[in-house]
Amino acid sequence: MNINHMLNEVLVRLFRNINVIEERAICSGEYKDVTANDMHVIEAIDMEGARNMTSVAKSLGVTTGTLTIAVNSLVKKGYVERVRSEEDRRVVLISLSQKGRKAYLHHQQFHEQMIEAIVEELSAEEQAVLEKALVKLDRFFRK
């Protein structure tokens, strides 16, 4: 099996199963009610302070309508807090609750393990090659 074929295989599998993979990593024990999508929203809100709907929607690449639905559910589940801004009453500020921050940190561990699993046993030169390939992949996707 040549490298092109193999790369293709891995990427196709990744594309097809990425949601399932993430879901499995997230939905463990305490955080059974968090979907992969929920986690993307949590990641976008971030640990730091509160952000308004429009900016979070933009960084997720969804409409604010879509985000409203997602936030409704996250508020109901207790991961996110929603507060109307005092300076501008049109603006809704969303932030992570205690529970939301814990879930976020829990998910970061999954990321770290994943990265660790990939990078471990690669020499500095090998890591550089991987980085080079990924930058290219990223560039390919952005254009």
Q: Which residues bind its own copies (CB under 8 A)?
A: 3-4, 6-8, 10-18, 20-22, 36, 40, 43, 60-61, 111-115, 117-122, 125-141
Alpha-carbon span 90 to 123, nearest angstrom: 53
72 binds, among its own copies, DNA, none (CB under 5 to 8 A by kind): DNA
CB distance 34 to 27 below 8 Å: yes
| Alpha carbon of residue 19 to chain centroid | 11
| Contact pick of 21, 73, 97, 99 for DNA (by CB under 7 A) | 73
SS3 16: helix
For residue 107 the two structure tokens come to: 């998910």
Among 2-10, 24-32, 63-71, 102-110, the segment contacting DNA (CB under 7 A): 63-71
| Contact pick of 89, 139, 142, 143 for DNA (by CB under 7 A) | 89
